[in-house]
A and B are shown apart, each in its own frame.
Chain A
Amino acid sequence: MAYTITSLLQKSYKEAQGKTVVQVLLVLAGLPVHLVIYFIYLIRKKDQSRDTVLKDIALELSKEQLSDQWHADYVDQLSRKRTFFQENVSDKELHEVAEKLVEERKKEEITRRTVDYFNQNGIQRTTYSVYFQSLLERRHFLLCTLLPGVLMYAILLLISNPFLTYIAERLIQSVLVIVGVAILVFTILYISPFDPASNILGESATQEQIAAFNQLHGLDLPYWQQLLNALKGIATFDLGSSFAGNEDVATSIANKFPVTLTIALFSVIMAVVIAIPVGILSATRPNSFLDYSFMFIALIGLSIPNFWQGLIFILNFSIKLNWLPATYSPSNHLSMIMPIVVLGTALTASIARMMRSSLLEIIHEDYIITARAKGLSKSQMLWKHAVGNAMIPVITVIGLLFGGMLGGAAVTEKVFNIRGIGSYIVDKQFIPDIPAIMGGVVYIAITISLVNLLIDILYAFLDPRIRSKINQS
């Protein structure tokens, strides 16, 4: 067991040598180990066989009396150069220059011969990385350095497996994007020409009151300080208190997020349950009346603005027919139906269209013809070979559209009077309440990134094409 681990570590360390970023990361992660080992390496390098070989070669070189010959050549060249350019250089200077050139050439010759010698005898030139590799082979070295070098070993294990590497890369990318989103949103709100202090305190506020307000919320700090505070706040779920009402922003967001997420989740479920069968039905009967009607309805679903659909639903189902309550209340489950349908309509339409075109494309692939040729029935072909493959791009689209849905939730929430995160952001934007807007937008972006990350990682396991691509790279 220990043997396999050491060889694994050694192999991934060897592979890492080509990649600068990974190398730097490894050195940084195992800094204490590397410092000690490098020190030992420097000491041990002295009495390595390499030194003796070097001495031997230098001796050999002096025996051949090449340096006198080189010296004569250089003097000849330099004196020609002097006469050609009519330079004013004395003989003594000329000899000095020649001497220098000879020394340089000597060194080059020695290193060249050493490399030749080592190559001929099949000896590897000892560098630090080779030395470290040889150490990694030993089990007791690993045990000794496990504690200080645990980070480095974790990275080594990580890069030894392409899947883990892919996941780690994807994770780092998401974190960077989220940080970028936070910086972007903060900067947009920072350069806003509006002044929250005078908006909240009113026209009659004195200079002192405004200054006190700015100091309370840290608005008098320089840009970098504020940005750092905001980033820290997002990472620690502590965004301070909102400008108006003095409520804790993180708590209010945490209170409002579940409603939005529940409705969005149900909408996705509704969309998938309706759209996938519709897409399959349409694709298996292309250009039929059924296909045309479904796609026409889907296009209408894509073209309806959420708020108008909501209003028409309220008008018909609440006011005229009195079936469903017009506004959302947490205790009444019936009041969830209309928001879910409204929010999910566009998603349903997109998924149905996507499923249809994806399945149509797959049905015309060669391997489907092969499946038919080997005698599979149409339904076997469809369910065993086509639908699963057609789902791959559809699931990606679901992940991407989920983001748009969370963003568009603000409008639906306003129509049905739901106190979700979307309507929270809209309510806060008039001041503008920087921590509240920033928190709302960034946490939604984080949710979306996480969903997409999850889908991507799932793919890495499920889709054989992505799997092979990862393994190759």
Chain B
Amino acid sequence: MKDSSNNRHALVISKDYPQANFTWILSLALAALFWWNSFPTKTDELNPFVFALFCAYMLTSIFQLFITRKMKKDLLNTGGIHKTTRRLGYFQLASLLTGNIFAAAFAFNLINKRKTPEYTFAVYTLLTQLAVIAISSVNLFKPYVSDTFLIAMASLLVIALFHLVALILTVHYVREYTAPRWMSILAVVLMATAVTGNLFALLLGWSLFMKSRRFDSSRLLKWNVMWEKITRNSTAVLGMFFILLMLTISITSRFTFDYALAVENNYSAILQAPSIVYPFGTDNFGRDVFSRIVFGARISLLVGFASTILPGLIGGFLGAIAGYYSNRIDNWIMRLLDILYSIPGILLAIAIIAAFGANTVNLIIALSVGGIPTYARTMRANVLMVSNYDFVDSAKALGASDFSILFKQVVPNSLAPMIVKSTLTIGGAVIATSSLSYLGLGVEPHIPEWGNILKVGSTYLESNSYLAIFPGLAIILLVLSFNFLGDGLRDALDPKLD
């Protein structure tokens, strides 16, 4: 009796089991989506390509359900997952061919019992690289490709191979706190491959570097614990994966995608439905919507990050000063910021853009100004809390000046909530960017930006609805990823939950 209750507990605390459930449900939902779309409403013919996708996802989902059942049985009987069940993960890896990232991520997780943060990094490094190659290879069906396409694709493939090697080496040699010394070379090369935007490689490289160079064990412990907490939350890692994928795409698209296809008019291909040449169709000027969405990621990420970092710095600085210095300064700063706080962000942005005109720089400024008070409040609350700690008193006793105490001791220790806050607000900034562009108040209309693409799409809603659907999906996915990551970071960094 006691044994079975123990095993029930094992089921509850297992990290793999909830992810298994999550994966089959999501695969099933995607399969349903493809089923729905395999019969276009106008013609009653079956769309063979979408139907094939449906079959593949359905199969994955059924197989995933089978694995999940088996895991549950193993956990209830023995309290652990059986080796043969873990072997099934190798078969599930095949779902990678259909682009089912969720199933693939689960399979990688299932195969390896002993999961170091490096293993997770290595898996996602490889997945990101493969996804970038898959997305870029869509260009193969285009009438022409950019001049650098072949070289870029070749180097991406080489890097992907290298990442695969890194993954295998990580599985074999990296332990919880140690890694062989020769791995520091591998680590440096890995960090260098992060120039493609694949920051998972940077994380993996840095992590390996710390372990192979035998860094201080308390530092390693902290690093391990933090990343274990974050990677335990599978949705947070998937969110991070999608964000970094977008980042990598927006960097590599410079070489693998042809900008002309996204911005130059092509009157021989106006308003074409999605096909293999134009995966998301073409718009009213014959521009390829897929390329436009890919290039739009760049703007969304740029504006999102800029309009988060800028108010984060200004608001953080003001909040730190308000929280640390006298009541009078505090009152002045916070009352003045109350004025900014009482105007809704979008309205303030509209007013600023009305005054200075619609372009990307003004958009960033407009969105930043509205964000200052939120960050100031967050920072102030943390500084108020942290400046009561003992280490601040001891710094004072050592004769440090107020300014150096504030920025060397207090602020670094109150950054965690700021990071969480900013991750959660980047999503809002991305939405605000596209909303303002949709109103004609954001990015200039000729630049491919998701809001601009949607604006065109909204006029063809009745006849060519795909023009409005795909950019919207891109926005939702990116914002959802930021929200998932933010939630995961909050759970991992929030001291209240410790």
**Could you list which residues of chain A lie within 8 angstroms of chain B, going by C-beta atoms?**
173, 176-178, 180-181, 184-185, 188-189, 191-194, 289, 292, 299-300, 302-308, 311-312, 314-315, 319-320, 403-404, 406-408, 410-411, 414-415, 425-426, 428-430, 432, 437, 441, 444-445, 448-449
Contacts and interface: CB of A to CB of B under 8 A. Distances in A.
Question: Which of A176, A307, A315, A320 neighbours the largest number of chain B CB atoms within 10 Å of its CB?
Answer: A307
Nearest to B454: A308
Majority-rule SS of A interface residues: helix
Nearest to A422: B347
A314 B468 CA distance: 12
A52 to B, nearest CB: 45
Given A407-B348, A408-B435, A437-B350, 11 more contacts: A173-B338, A177-B339, A185-B343, A192-B354, A303-B479, A312-B468, A407-B345, A410-B439, A441-B343, A441-B351, A445-B343
A16 B469 CA distance: 64
Interface string B411-453: 0000000000000000100010011001101000000000000
Contacts of B220: none
B174 interface: no
Interface stretch (B129-137, B151-159, B457-465): B457-465
A117 to B, nearest CB: 40
A306 B342 contact: no
Contacts of A314: 461
B342 A177 contact: yes
A426 B347 CA distance: 9
Contacts of A189: 351, 354-355
Given A312-B472, A411-B438, A448 B342 contact: yes
B342 A429 contact: no
Nearest to A449: B342
B346 interface: yes
A192 to B, nearest CB: 4
B218 to A, nearest CB: 31
A320 B41 contact: yes
Contact of A181 (B41, B335, B339, B345): B339
B180 interface: no
B338 to A, nearest CB: 5
B441 A403 contact: no
A408 B435 CA distance: 9
Contacts, number: 143
A289 to B, nearest CB: 8
6 contacts: A180-B339, A181-B343, A305-B431, A308-B468, A426-B350, A445-B342
A289 B68 CA distance: 15
Interface string B336-361: 10111011111110111111110000
A203 B21 CA distance: 66
B476 A411 contact: no
Nearest to B479: A303
Contacts of B479: 302-303, 305
Contacts of A414: 438-439
B487 interface: yes
Contacts of A403: 342, 344
Contacts of B346: 404, 407-408, 410-411
Contact of B469 (A312, A319, A406): A312
Given A305-B475, A307-B454, A299 B484 contact: yes
Nearest to A185: B351
B429 to A, nearest CB: 12
Nearest to A309: B472
Nearest to B353: A429
A342 B208 CA distance: 47
Contacts of A426: 350, 439, 441
B354 A315 contact: no
Contacts of A319: 461-462, 465
Given A191-B355, A192-B355, A194-B355, A308 B476 contact: yes
Contacts of A320: 41
Contacts of B344: 403-404, 406-408, 444, 448
Contacts of A173: 335, 338
Nearest to B41: A320
Interface string B18-44: 000110000000000000000001000
Contacts of B427: 302-303
A185 B465 CA distance: 39
Nearest to A176: B335
A430 B441 CA distance: 9
A432 B354 contact: yes
A311 B476 CA distance: 14
A429 B431 contact: no
B346 to A, nearest CB: 4
B251 to A, nearest CB: 24
B333 to A, nearest CB: 13
Given A299-B487, A311-B461, A315-B465, A404 B345 contact: yes
